Amino acid sequence: MRHSAADTGFEHHGFLNVLLATAALLDGADTTRAAEVLAERSADALAAAARQLSDLHIARLRNRFRSFGTCSVTEPLTDLTGLGLLDPTER
């Protein structure tokens, strides 16, 4: 999720924020809506939005959302598992 780093104060976009902003843009949303999704800090809100993605949305996202930079390989997986969006046996 989007957060401010305690040690630097820098803002960081979360994996789900970027994924869902991409989904919104693919659905025809404008950049204002995409910015709102990037700014969302509620894990529950982002998880609920991710659960609403249809199979068609997921297929379109897989075609366009090819990579995501992170300093930690496991942190996004742990977060998605904690939100119930990823089955830990599939890791």
* pTM for the whole structure: 0.84
Q: What is the mean pLDDT of the chain?
A: 91
Percent of the chain with pLDDT over 70: 99
Q: Tell me how long the chain is.
A: 91
CA angle (50 as vertex; 13, 48 as ends), nearest 5:
100
Determine the structural domain holding residue 78 and report its residue range: 3-90
Once rounded to an integer, what is the mean pLDDT over residues 34-49? 96
Q: How many domains does the chain divide into?
A: 1
d(CA 38, CA 31): 10
Q: Which two tokens stand for residue 44?
A: 């529950």
CA angle (49 as vertex; 79, 21 as ends), nearest 5:
85
At 17, the amino acid letter reads N
CA dihedral 14, 20, 23, 24 (to 10 degrees): -120
